[in-house]
Chains A and B, each alone.
Chain A
C-alpha cells in the first residue's frame, strides 16, 4: 500500500521548503568555494597585474574600491615558474611540510589503531583509567597540553630538531578516541570466531580489525593530514630557533610579504595536495563518521 502518496498537502509543503533549502545551500556553497576559486584564478594572472592589485590594499580612500579581478589581460603560468624554478625557497618549505606530514602519519599509523584496539577488544585492569586519561587529554585545550610537552622536549634535548614536531603528534588523543568509537561498533563475535580458529590477538588485529576499520582509518588519515598540513602552533614554539626547519604553514606569510606578486601561485600549490587528499578520501570521511559511535 503506497501510503506516502496519499498526502498531497504535505508533499506540496516540502517542495516549497526544498526549493528554499536548495537555493540557500547553493548560495552558501558558492560563498564557500569563492576564496578557493579566486586563489586559483589569480594564480594565472601576470605578476605585474597582481602587484598593482595588491598595492590597492589598506588604502583608506573612500572613492576607491578593490573589486574582483575577472580575467587577466594575458593568462600566464609565470607565477608558477617563478616559485618552482627561479626562486625555489618556497619549494624547500613545501618539502619540509611534506616531510613532517609523512613522518607524523607513519608514526600515527603504527601507534594509534593499535592503542584503540587494545582499549576496545581487551579486558585488563586500568583500561577505563587509561581511556579516561586519553579523554581528559583530548578535552584539555592545546595551550595546556603543549606546556608539559615543551618541558619534556627540553629535558630530552629535542627542542629545535624535527623530532620535536613529529614525536608528540604520534600519540594524538583525538585519533585514539575517534578510532575507539568506531571499533566499539565492531561486534566481538568476529574476534571470537577468529579465536576458535586459533587466531591470536595480533593476527586478529591484522586480519580482522584493520580491514574492518578501513573507512575510519582513511578518514583519520585525511583529518590528520589536514592537521599536519596546517600545523602552526607546534613548529612555532618547538622550532623557534630554527627557521630552516619550519614547515610552509608557518613561513607562508613571510614569503608573501617578500614576494606578493607570486603569492597566489604559492597558495594554489599549497592548497592542491589538500584538495587531492580531500577528493580522494571524502567518501571515507563521511562513512567513517557515520559508522562510528560519535552520534
Chain B
C-alpha cells in the first residue's frame, strides 16, 4: 500500500524503540550474563552456568511443575473448548447467553476468587461433600500433589471462554451446505467433525492450541495466591517462582541461564507442533 519510507519509520519509532530497549537488545545482552561468572572480573566461563542451573534442584522442580501443569492444561483446554463450541453451534440461536457466560471469567481477577476457591476445595468443602455423596473418600485438596487440581480447574475456569470464542468464530466460516450434503450422504455427526470441521478450521485450531500452551506456561498467579513465594507444597513450585526468587537476589547469571534454557525448550516444542500441523494439513489436502 503506502510506500513513504520516512513516514513509516516515524510512525514505527515508538514501538521500535520500546521493543528494542525492553526486549531485543537486552535479550542478546543477557547472553553475556549467562556465560560469565558474575564476579568483579566477570570471567568468561562458557556453559558453566548452564551446568549449575540444570543441576539446581529448585530449577528442576520448577521446570518440571511448569511443564506438568502446561501439559495437563493445554490439551484439556483445547478439547473442552472445541466440544463446548460445538455444543454452542448445535444450539444455534439459543447459544448466545451461554457463550457470554463462558467468556465472563476471562475478565475476572483471580485474586478475588481464590478465597471462595479454597472454601469450595476445603477438606469439609462442597467438592468433598459431593465426592462423599458419590461414595468416594474425601481428598485433602489444598496440600501436596492434589493441590494441582484446584489450580488447574481455576485456570481452566478462567481461560476456556476465550478459546471457545475463537472456535465459535472459526465454525462460522465453515459453509453449512457441507454438513447438509454430508448428512444426506449418511455421514454421522462425529465423522463430520473429523472430516469437515477439523480440517477446515485447522489454522485456528492450531492457534488456540499454541495460545493455550503459552498461557499455560504462565500458570503462577493461582499457585502464588495459594502458596506464596515459597509454597509449602513443592508440587506447585513453578519456574516463575524460581525466577522471582533469583530476581530478588539480583542473580542475573541464574535468571538469564534459566530463561534461555526454557526458551530453547519452548522453541523445540513449537517447532515440533508446527511440523505436526503442517503434516496434518498436507495429509488432508
Contacts and interface: CB of A to CB of B under 8 A. Distances in A.
Interface of A: 10, 14, 17-18, 21-22, 24-26, 28-29, 32-33, 35-36, 38-39, 42, 54, 56-62, 64-68, 110-112, 114-115, 117-118, 121-124, 130, 133-134, 137-152, 154-155, 167-168, 170-171, 173, 176, 188, 191-192, 195, 200-202, 204-205, 222-223, 225-226, 229-230, 232-233, 236-237, 240, 248-250, 252-253, 256, 263-264, 266-268, 270-271, 274-275, 277-278, 282, 285-286, 289-290, 294-295
Interface in B60-101: 66, 84, 87-88, 90-91, 94-95, 97-101
Interface string B114-146: 111111101111100100000000101010000
B90 A150 contact: no
A133 B144 CA distance: 40
B103 A137 contact: no
Contacts of A171: 15, 18-19, 22-23
B122 to A, nearest CB: 5
Interface stretch (B35-43, B50-58, B236-244, B277-285): B236-244
Interface of B: 1-5, 7-9, 11-12, 14-16, 18-19, 21-27, 29-30, 33, 66, 84, 87-88, 90-91, 94-95, 97-120, 122-126, 129, 138, 140, 142, 157, 165-166, 168-170, 172-173, 183, 189, 201, 203-204, 207, 210, 214, 217-218, 220-221, 224-225, 228, 239-240, 243-244, 247-248, 250, 252, 255-256, 258-260, 262-263, 266, 270
B6 to A, nearest CB: 10
Nearest to B248: A240
Contact of A22 (B3, B91, B105, B207): B91
Given A143-B240, A237-B247, A170 B109 contact: no
A295 B166 contact: yes
B140 A282 contact: no
Nearest to A156: B21
Contacts of B218: 141-143, 233
Interface centre among B99, B259, B260 (most CB of A within 10 A): B259
A84 B101 CA distance: 29
Contacts of A268: 112
A26 to B, nearest CB: 8
18 contacts: A28-B84, A33-B104, A59-B124, A66-B119, A111-B15, A121-B2, A124-B5, A137-B23, A146-B259, A167-B18, A170-B14, A233-B240, A237-B247, A253-B111, A274-B109, A289-B169, A295-B201, A295-B204
B19 A232 contact: no
A95 B119 CA distance: 28
- Judged by DSSP, the binding face of A is helix
A163 to B, nearest CB: 11
Contacts of A57: 118-119, 122
A32 B101 CA distance: 7
B18 A58 contact: no
Given A139-B270, A143-B262, A277-B107, 16 more contacts: A25-B87, A28-B84, A28-B102, A114-B14, A115-B14, A133-B24, A143-B240, A144-B259, A149-B26, A230-B221, A232-B221, A233-B240, A250-B111, A253-B114, A267-B115, A270-B112
